[in-house]
Amino acid sequence: MTTAILFSSSRASGDTFQIVKYLSDNSAVQMFNLSEHSVSFYDYEHQNNADDFLPLMAELVQFEHIIFATPMYWYSMCAQMKVFIDRLSDLLTIDKPLGRQLRGKQCSLISSGYDSNAPDCLWQPFELTAKYLGMHYKEMLYLSCPSEFKLADHKVTLDDFIENALTC
C-alpha cells in the first residue's frame, strides 16, 4: 500500500518531525511538509484557489493511505493542520472530482504530546472527516513525549507501526 504522511508542526525539527522522519527513513512512505506549501485559510469566495492547496491534494490523492501528522496543541491538532483540514471544503465545491478521488482511501493520524494518553477529541475530527469524505480511518499512533523525543523510548512502537501499518 502506498502511503503519504502530511507533516505539520510549529517546530520544524521537533517531536512530531522526529517521529515522521524515523518512519520515512525506515519505510517507503513519502513525507510532505505542510510548512513548505502555502495553504491559506478557507475562503468562502475561493479567492485563494491558486495557492498550494489543490496541487498538494493532487499529489496526496496518488497514495492509497494518507497519514496526518500533528502535535497535540491544547488537546487538538496544530493550527496549520486545521487550516489544511478546513480547505478540504474546497473539494466539496470548486474541485469535486479531486475530492471524489479520496473515496475508499485509508487515513490515519500520528501525534505527539506531553500527556501519557491522547483524549478522544484529538482523533475524532480525523475519523469523522474521513467518514464524511468516504475514507476509511484506520488508527492513531500517539507518542507521549514529556521531554524531548528520544528514539530509544519509542523505537519498538515505531518499528511495530512500520511493520503493521506501513508494510502491507
Ligand X SMILES: Cc1cc2nc3c(=O)[nH]c(=O)nc-3n(C[C@H](O)[C@H](O)[C@H](O)COP(=O)(O)O)c2cc1C
Q: Which residues bind ligand X (CB under 6 A)?
A: 9-11, 14-17, 71-75, 112-115, 145
User: Cβ of residue 80: shortest distance to ligand X, in angstroms?
Assistant: 11
Single out the residue of 148, 161, 7 nearest to residue 71, CA to CA.
7
Nearer to ligand X, 72 or 135 (CB): 72
d(CA 67, CA 166): 10
Q: Which amino acid is at 152?
A: A
Least Å distance, CB 10 to ligand X, is 6
Identity of the residue, 135 or 161, whose beta carbon is nearer to ligand X in the bound complex: 161
CB 75 → ligand X: shortest distance, Å? 4
26 or 76: CB nearest ligand X: 76
Residue 87's φ and ψ, nearest 5 degrees, are -70, -15
3 phi and psi angles, rounded to 5 deg: -130, 135
